């Protein structure tokens, strides 16, 4: 904070009283000026005329007015006129004036001295007031910049108390609302001290006593200043200032004995006290507005978060309703046909209906499993049931599951020989491969092959930890570049990212909207294992979904079957 803000109260907040006692340096400078003028008049006596000697005293009176108060300067000028009459005006040694021009000279000297003293006094007072206003403006500007640069204005509550204490010269304390959404203006201001449950919502700086704490809560609740000079609770010895925001109050500050009541207080002193209260209130208002901005930003963030959650909830309900209603309607229709028209259907028709029930029920089971798994993996502190697994067994399980849905046997596998064991959760990686294969089969033509590729990732000599690549590649229509990252987000599956599918006949029926949690849960499974899932466009059409998983060093001796698996070394 600027050193000028630490000035005493009298030098900071206004001009000195008109008849206040001057300081010792001012008296010394004024005395030296008069001594020099009288010395020069004594030396020039008899060498110049009387009018020129009088000009020396007028000059001394004007210079001494720069250091003396107006009253003292007028008195000094009057005494100088009398002394000049006594020592220099004939008849010397008396106060009589014989000639009229001498009387006019004395009168002119007296009038000029009074006018100069009054004008210089007013000029000094105006300069002091301008300096005080400039100092107050600079103090407000510095405090405003400090609050603007503060990350958390609540942390500046102690700085506000220090600033108020230095400005008024008395101890200060303050309270402020904690960072929580405040009540709207129409709802009024709640009582922060109504019960003990509200106590944690207030932050305190300084050490207010019990009476001051009650006064701070009252000031905060009513949002108006209290104490002497405010028209409310004038008998209180302390001054209370609210931290006002826009149509709300964010806190309060107290100054112990900031504005004492005095029956003989002058009008100028009362005016300076009013200016002091206005300055202190402006500092408090800046703090209140900064606190309100923080609370408003917090409220906006929470409102935006609630709106986003509501939007996600609505999208979830809409997507799940679509993904569940279609299979349920198919299952219900097939089951009703088998129940009500079983005698009219031949064996092939009953088998086709039963097969449809099995397929739709499996689809529902996969959707439910993906949704529950995504919710579990997104929760903090999730733990995986990892063990040493063979990549060949994981791919074999994925092939068996895929061939139940793929009658044309389009899914093929290609594995690099000599693959190391993989430290992973077998159920999760099987689910990842099933989802990737199901996605490739669903969004590719009927005759397009789907390949599962497993190999080590990276080039020889590459400065990266060893990784394993699990990729599912297809020759489908591909995905537009703008949607290659959004396909991994929930609720973004639909016709828009698959706009290129319209170029290939027979694939339009696959571009239906839905929940789209399959690829989202695949990325969550990959990240839970310390890997990453990415999408890469293939050069001759189609896309490749590649999962990169870290490889860890397997133990040389297999763990005992009765004990837990050995944790791998990174």
Cβ atoms 12, 135 nearer than 8 A: yes
In angstroms and rounded to an integer, the radius of gyration of the C-alpha atoms of the chain is 45
pLDDT of residue 542: 86
Q: Which of 31, 37, 34, 41 is nearest to 89 (CA)?
A: 41
Per residue, the 3-state secondary structure of 323-366, as one string, reads: HHHHHHHHHHHHHHHHHHCCCCCCHHHHHHHHHHHHHHHHHHHH
Q: Which of 138, 146, 137, 147 is nearest to 291 (CA)?
A: 147
Cβ atoms 156, 146 nearer than 8 A: yes
Cβ atoms 363, 371 nearer than 8 A: no
CB neighbours of 210 closer than 8 A, spacing ≥ 6?
A: none
pLDDT of residue 491: 58
- What gap in Å lies between CA 567 and CA 552, rounded to an integer? 10
Task: Report whether the peptide linkage leading into residue 130 is cis, meaning its omega lies within 30 degrees of zero.
Answer: no
Beta-bridge partners for 468: 456, 549
- What gap in Å lies between CA 265 and CA 269, rounded to an integer? 6
Q: Which helix (H) or strand (E) holds 258?
A: none
Q: Which helix (H) or strand (E) holds 449?
A: none
pLDDT of residue 2: 39
pLDDT in tens, 385-434: 899 999 999 999 999 888 877 777 788 999 999 899 999 999 999 999 99
Angstrom distances, CA of residue 186 to CA of 189, 333, 511: 9, 56, 50
- What gap in Å lies between CA 331 and CA 354, rounded to an integer? 9
Residue tagged 């995905």 (tokens): 479
pLDDT of residue 497: 44
pLDDT of residue 231: 82
**pTM: predicted TM-score of the whole model, two decimal places:** 0.51
Angstrom distances, CA of residue 490 to CA of 322, 348, 554: 15, 39, 35
Q: Which of 529, 545, 521, 531 is nearest to 378 (CA)?
A: 521
pLDDT of residue 319: 65
Exposed e or buried b per residue across 433-472, where buried means at least 16 C-beta atoms within 10 angstroms of its C-beta: bbbbbbbbbbbbbeebebbbbbeebeeeeeeeeebbbbbb
pLDDT of residue 198: 41
Q: Which of 204, 249, 246 is nearest to 225 (CA)?
A: 249
Residue tagged 């969550």 (tokens): 524
- What gap in Å lies between CA 330 and CA 452, rounded to an integer? 31
Cβ atoms 445, 417 nearer than 8 A: no
pLDDT of residue 392: 92
Residue tagged 């990732």 (tokens): 457
Q: Kindly give the parts of the chain with pLDDT less than 70.
A: 1-22, 98-99, 179-200, 258-266, 268, 312-313, 315-317, 319-320, 322, 459-464, 490-516, 554-570
pLDDT in tens, 442-465: 888 888 889 999 999 876 555 667
Q: How far is CA 138 from the centre of its chain?
A: 25
pLDDT of residue 30: 82
Cβ atoms 92, 40 nearer than 8 A: no
In degrees, rounded to 5, the angle at the alpha carbon of residue 2 between the alpha carbons of residues 138 and 272 is 55
CB neighbours of 551 closer than 8 A, spacing ≥ 6?
A: 420, 422, 456, 465, 466, 467, 468
Q: How far is CA 334 from the centre of its chain?
A: 58
């Amino acid at each position: 904070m600027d050193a000028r803000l630490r000035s005493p109260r009298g030098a900071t907040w206004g001009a000195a009283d008109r008849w206040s006692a001057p300081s010792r340096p001012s008296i010394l400078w004024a005395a030296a000026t008069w001594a020099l003028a009288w010395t020069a008049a004594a030396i020039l006596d008899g060498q110049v005329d009387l009018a020129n000697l009088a000009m020396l005293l007028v000059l001394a009176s004007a210079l001494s007015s720069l250091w003396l108060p107006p009253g003292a300067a007028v008195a000094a000028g009057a005494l100088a006129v009398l002394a000049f009459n006594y020592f220099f005006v004939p008849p010397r040694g008396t106060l009589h004036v014989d000639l009229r021009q001498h009387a006019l000279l004395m009168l002119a000297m007296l009038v000029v001295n009074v006018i100069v003293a009054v004008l210089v006094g007013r000029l000094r007072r105006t300069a002091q007031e301008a300096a005080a206003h400039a100092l107050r403006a600079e103090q407000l500007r510095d405090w405003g910049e400090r609050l603007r640069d503060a990350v958390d204005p609540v942390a500046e509550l102690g700085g506000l108390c220090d600033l108020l204490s230095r400005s008024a010269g008395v101890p200060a304390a303050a309270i402020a609302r904690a960072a929580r959404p405040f009540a709207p203006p129409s709802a009024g201001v709640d009582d922060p001290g109504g019960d003990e449950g509200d106590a944690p919502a207030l932050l305190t700086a300084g050490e207010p006593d019990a009476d001051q704490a009650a006064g701070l809560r009252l000031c905060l609740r009513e949002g108006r200043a209290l104490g002497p000079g405010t028209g409310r609770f004038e008998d209180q010895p302390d001054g209370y200032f609210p931290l006002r925001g826009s149509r709300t109050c964010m806190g309060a500050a107290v100054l112990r004995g900031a504005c004492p009541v005095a029956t003989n207080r002058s009008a100028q002193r009362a005016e300076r006290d009013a200016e002091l209260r206005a300055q202190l209130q402006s500092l408090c208002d800046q703090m209140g507005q900064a606190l309100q901005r923080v609370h408003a930003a917090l409220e906006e963030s929470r409102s935006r978060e609630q709106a986003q959650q509501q939007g996600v909830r609505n999208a979830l309900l809409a997507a799940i309703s679509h993904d569940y209603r279609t299979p349920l309607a198919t299952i219900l229709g097939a089951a009703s046909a088998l129940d009500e028209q079983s005698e009219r259907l031949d064996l092939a028709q009953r088998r086709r209906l039963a097969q449809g029930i099995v397929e739709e029920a499996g689809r529902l089971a996969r959707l439910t499993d993906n949704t529950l798994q995504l919710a579990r993996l997104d929760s903090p502190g999730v733990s995986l049931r990892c063990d040493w697994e063979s990549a060949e067994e994981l791919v074999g399980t994925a092939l068996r599951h895929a061939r139940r849905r793929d009658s044309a046997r389009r899914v093929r596998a290609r594995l690099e020989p000599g693959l190391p064991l993989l430290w992973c959760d077998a159920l999760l990686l099987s689910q990842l491969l099933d989802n990737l294969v199901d996605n490739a089969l669903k969004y590719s033509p009927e005759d397009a092959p789907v390949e599962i590729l497993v190999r080590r990732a990276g080039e020889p000599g590459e400065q990266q930890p060893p990784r394993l690549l699990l990729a599912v590649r297809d020759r489908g229509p591909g995905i537009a570049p703008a949607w290659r990252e959004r396909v991994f987000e929930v609720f973004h599956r639909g016709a828009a990212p698959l706009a290129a599918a319209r170029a290939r006949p027979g694939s339009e029926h696959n571009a239906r909207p839905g929940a789209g949690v399959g690829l989202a849960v695949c990325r969550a499974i990959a990240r839970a294992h310390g890997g990453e899932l990415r999408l890469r466009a293939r050069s001759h059409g189609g896309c490749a979904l590649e999962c990169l998983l870290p490889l860890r060093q397997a133990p040389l001796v297999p763990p005992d079957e009765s004990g837990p698996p050995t944790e791998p070394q990174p």
